[in-house]
Chains A and B, each alone.
Chain A
Amino acid sequence: MSIQKARPTRRVWLPAFFLGLFGALLAARLVQLQVLQHAAYAAQARNELLGDSTLYARRGAILDRNGGVLVTSVDTWDLYLNTRAWRDAASRETTLQKVSEITRIPRDQVEAALASSPGVEIRIAVDLDYDLGQRLIEADLPGVVLLPNTARIHPEGDLAAAVLGFIGLDNTGLAGIEQYYNDILQGKPGRAVYERDTLGDPIPYGRYVATEPVPGDDLVLTIDRYLQRLAEQMLAEAVKEHGAAGGTILVMDPANGEILANATLPSVRYSTLEQDLASASEARSPFKNITVTDTYEPGSVMKVVTAAAAIDAGVVTPETTYVDNGVVDVEGVLLKNWDDGVYGEQTMTGVLQHSINTGAVFMQQKLGTRLFQSYLEAFGFGQKTGVDLPGEAAGFFRRPEDPGYSPVDVATQSFGQSISVTPIQMMQAIAACINGGNLITPHIVKARILPDGSRIDVQPTVVRRVISEATSDAVRRMMGEVVAQDPDGWGRNPAHYTAGGKSGTANIPVWGTYTDDQQIVSFMGFAPLENPRLLVLVRLDRNRNLLTGTQAAGPIFARFVDEALRYLGVPPEKGTRSSAR
C-alpha cells in the first residue's frame, strides 16, 4: 500500500505563508520591544510604578556668640489636596470641611485654591504647623497629601535680620548669612523612592529606598544679641531724632575682626517680609546689608588713615606743626576747611582735633601721591575686605592712571572725598590703625558645629601689617585727644570709659557736585583707650537737621560704649561713685 503524498496546493501554502509572516512580524515586534527598546520601556514602567520625594535635611541653626538662638528650624508640612481621590460629592465635602477645621484655613480659601488650578494635586498650604499636620494624618482623609518640609523660626523677632537674611520656598538662602553659608546650613537632602498605587500614594510595605538626609551644620556668629539689640534700638531712636533716611551702627572687636553688632536702617524685617519684597527697589532692597553692599564718602574719618600713613612713613610726627591759612591751593583749585575756619599753627594732633582739611592735604603732600595711595591700598581701600556676607562692594578711589584723574582727587582723598568706601572697609582700616597695625579680615561667623556635636572655630585672618606698632600707638593717642577735648559739650566722650574717635561729615555728591542739604554724618570711635575692646561706627544718612558727625553721631557712640562695656564687664575708668574698702 502506498502513501499518497499531498500535493502542496495554493490552499495550503497560502495560509501557511501568511501565518508564518504573521509569526515573524510578531517575533520581530517582540524583539523590538523586549530587546532593542528594553531600557526605555523598563524606565517607563519604573516611572509609572515608582514615586519619589525629597526628604529635606534639617537646616542648621544660627546662634549668637553666647549660644542664644537667632534662627532655628522646625518641621512643617506642605498640604496638597488630590481631587481625583474623591469618589463622590459627599467624600469631597467631608474632606474639605475637616481640612478647614483642622488647619483653620477658611473654607472659601480652600475652595478658591482648588478652583484656581486645573491640576489634580493642588497645594493648599505651605509650612503648616507640625501638630496640625499630624492631626490631618490621624484623620486619614481621602485626597489629603502631606509632604514634610521645614520652616525657619526667629525667636528674637526682627533682630539682626539684615545679617541673618532669609530663605526661599525651596529652602535655599536668598540673603545674608542664610545665603552666604547656604551650603553649610542646608545639609544634604535625602530621597525616598517608593512603589505607588494609581492615586500616587505609597503602597504599604512596597519597596522603599531612602537616602537619609544629612542635617546642616549650626553656625555660631560673632554677633552678641544683647549688643545687637542695643545697637538697633539706639539707631532707631537716632534716625527718628535726627530725621535721617537711615543709618548704621557697626561694632567690631578691633583685635580680631569679630563683628559684635551690625544694625542697619533700612533693613529687612521678617514681620513685613512679604511687603518688603513686593516694594523692593535698588535703593531699598531687603536683599541688601548696606554695611557691605553700599558705598559712601567717609569724610573726615579718613584723616585718621592719612595721619597713620604719614606718621608710619616718617614724614610727620603727632607733634609736627604747620600753619593753617584756611585754604590750600592744589593745581589752581582752592580747598577750604569744612567750616571755612582758619586755625593758624597746628600740630598733626590738632589737625585731627579740629578736623582741618588743609592739614590732611599737608600730610598727603608730604607723602606724595604714589606713597599715599599705596597706603590706601594697604589699608584695603578699593578692594573687598573678604567679610563673610554676600554682595560686598569693593569701593573705589581714582589713581593717576585712571581716566579723568586730577591731582585734586588725591588731595581730597586725604580728607575723605573722591573716595568711596563701605562701612565695613572703614572699620577694617581704623581697626588696623589702633590694634597695633594689623589689617584683619572682618568676619561674622565664629564657629561651626557639626551634626555630631564637634565644633570648628574660625580663626582670625591677618591680611598684612600696614603700619608699625609705634605708629598705631601714636594714632590711638591722637584719636584719644580728639575725644578728650570735647569742646562743644555734645557728649561724644563716654561718661565711664576713656575713648578715642573721629567724626566725619560728608556731603553727598549729586550729579558730579556736592549739595549742602544732603549729607552723611558718622563717628568712628573705640574704647577703652589703652586696650580697645570695641570699635564702633555710627553713621546717619541724610539727617534733616544737618548736625555734624560730632554733634549727631558722637553722643550715640558715647552712650553705646558706656552701656556695651558695662555689659561686657569692663571696669569703668572714670565718672563712677566708687568707695574703697
Chain B
Amino acid sequence: MAAINHPLGGARRPIGLPLPSPRVNWAVAAALAFLLFAALLPVVQNSFVTSRGFDIQASQREQAQLRSQIALLEADVARLTSQSRIERRAQEIGMVPAADPIYVTVQEPGPAPAKLPAEYLPDPAPTPAPQDSWWKSLLSWRPW
C-alpha cells in the first residue's frame, strides 16, 4: 500500500480553533465571596462569642473566689485584732494591766504641731508679678 506522503489535496490543514480565554466574571466571584463570607460570619461570630463567654465565666468565677478570699482575710484580720486575742497575746509576752497611772503636769508649752512634708502641702499661692511704674509703661509706647 503506497504511502501518501504529501498532503492531501483539497484538504486544508486543520486550523486550531481559538479557545475562549478564561475571563473572570468578577461580579459573580464577588457575589460568591460575599455569600461565603455571609455564611461564615455567624459561625465566626458564634465561635468568638462562645470563646468570650467562656473567658467571662472564668473571670467571674475567679472574681467570686477572690472576693470570698478577701472576705475570709478580712475576717481573719478582725479575729486577730479582737480585744480578747490582743489580751491573750499581751499576757503571752508578759504584759500586765496598768496600775494606777501617774499624771505629770508640765508647765511648759507643748511641742509645736508636727508639720506635713512639703509634698503633702497645697501649692503656694502664686505671687503676683510686681507692676511696672507708670513711667516705665510710657516707654512701651515708644516706636523703636
Give chain A's interface residues, CB within 8 Å of chain B: 58, 68-69, 72-75, 130-131, 134, 148, 153, 155-157, 159, 205, 208, 225-226, 229, 566, 571-572, 576-581
Contact = CB atoms under 8 A, between A and B. Distances in A.
List 5 A-B pairs, minimum CB-CB distance, nearest first.
Answer: A69-B78, A155-B78, A75-B68, A155-B82, A155-B79
B106 interface: yes
A148 B64 CA distance: 10
B72 interface: yes
Contacts of A581: 104-108
A134 B108 CA distance: 63
Q: In the complex, which range does the number of interface residues on chain B fall in? A: 20 to 34
A229 B107 contact: no
Contacts of A572: 103
A571 B102 CA distance: 11
B102 to A, nearest CB: 5
B37 interface: no
B67 A75 contact: yes
A72 B75 contact: yes
Contact of B72 (A130, A208, A226, A580): A130
A156 B72 contact: no
Interface in B103-131: 103-108
B18 to A, nearest CB: 57
Given A72-B74, A208-B57, A579-B104, A156 B50 contact: no
A580 B71 CA distance: 51
B72 A578 contact: no
Nearest to B108: A581
Contacts of B79: 153, 155
Contacts of A74: 68, 71-72, 75
A68 B104 CA distance: 31
Interface in B70-111: 71-72, 74-75, 77-79, 81-84, 100-108
A578 B102 contact: yes
A581 B108 CA distance: 8
A130 B74 CA distance: 14
A578 B106 CA distance: 10
B96 to A, nearest CB: 16
A130 B78 contact: no
B67 A580 contact: no
Contacts of B105: 578-581
Contacts of A205: 50, 53-54, 57
A72 B70 CA distance: 12
Contacts of A73: 71
Nearest to B87: A229
13 contacts: A58-B67, A69-B74, A69-B77, A74-B68, A134-B65, A153-B79, A566-B101, A572-B103, A576-B102, A576-B103, A577-B103, A578-B102, A581-B107
A577 B102 contact: yes
B104 A72 contact: no
B61 to A, nearest CB: 10
A5 B64 CA distance: 81
A225 B71 contact: no
B84 A156 contact: yes
Contacts of B71: 58, 72-75
B50 to A, nearest CB: 6
A159 B84 CA distance: 10
A229 B87 CA distance: 12
Contacts of A578: 102-105
B82 A156 contact: yes
A572 B107 CA distance: 16
A153 B102 contact: no
A229 B83 contact: yes
